Amino acid sequence: EAQVTQNPRYLITVTGKKLTVTCSQNMNHEYMSWYRQDPGLGLRQIYYSMNVEVTDKGDVPEGYKVSRKEKRNFPLILESPSPNQTSLYFCASSLNGLASSYNEQFFGPGTRLTVL
Amino acid sequence: GENVEQHPSTLSVQEGDSAVIKCTYSDSASNYFPWYKQELGKRPQLIIDIRSNVGEKKDQRIAVTLNKTAKHFSLHITETQPEDSAVYFCAAPSPNESGGSNYKLTFGKGTLLTVNP
């Protein structure tokens, strides 16, 4: 089944404790992206990746890191989480991210993160 | 970068009525406009999209219209049903700030649609 998976689905942690949220897709998509969703603010893009080893900042990258060592995986790293990073996080992927051929983005199930 | 404004933030209709959600965008170069539906506790899913070479696109009870001159696009849902109740997001792309051929997708803040039986 074609899908985007995220782990963990729920996480409660404390300020400053490094964490990684994994994202994996099995559709051979080139483009992957991370969003955070907060009440009243919609979906805001954190980072995205056009392909292996190619990443770029979205609108709210501060406090986050990403890596794209393999095509299928795009982990989100919080080196020193803070309470303002408490949010619902979505990973998404699409065939490619080229402006010449926009494609549907497929979203993962979401990760609800609470930073105390 | 792109700025996407979405209105209204909440919309309540009676079953069978129509619902219209409108979005405006700022980047005149944008040429792809998707709409995503997010049911409570679920992930966003694409329901319809439109490219700038057409002014309207329909898929059964949903349609999207685009006015490039005014830089706005709208989602129209006819004969609404309770299962249409969800949060709807519009989005528009903007070029990557480093000038590459890729793009970022900027979402509106969402509209909570409630369809009352």
| B16-47 per-position pLDDT tens digit | 999 999 999 998 888 889 999 999 999 999 99
Q: d(Cα B22, Cα B97) in Å, to the nearest integer?
A: 26
Task: List the Cα angle B85/A106/B4 in 5-degree steps.
Answer: 65
Angle value at C-alpha A75, between A70 and A78, nearest 5 degrees = 145
How confident is the model over A96-112, as a mean pLDDT?
84
Q: Which pLDDT tens digit goes with each residue over A41-72?
A: 999 999 999 899 999 988 899 999 999 999 99
Of A40, A50, A105, the CB nearest to B105: A105
Question: Residue A13: pLDDT above 90?
Answer: yes
Report, as an integer, the average pLDDT of B111-116: 97
Give the gap in angstroms from C-alpha A40 to the nearest C-alpha of chain B: 6
Structure-token pair, residue B111 = 């509209």
Q: Is B39 on the interface with A (CB under 8 A)?
A: no
Cross-chain Cβ contact B49/A104 below 8 Å: yes
Closest by Cβ to B96, choosing from A35, A56, A107? A56
Instruction: Tell me the mean pLDDT in the region A80-96.
Output: 96
pLDDT digits (tens, 9 = 90+) for B45-60: 999 999 888 899 999 9
* Residue B100 pLDDT level (bands cut at 50, 70, 90): low
Strand partners, B67: B72
Confidence (pLDDT) at B53 = 81
Shortest Cα distance, chain B CAs vs residue A49, angstroms: 10
Average model confidence (pLDDT) across chain A? 94
The residue length of chain B stands at 117
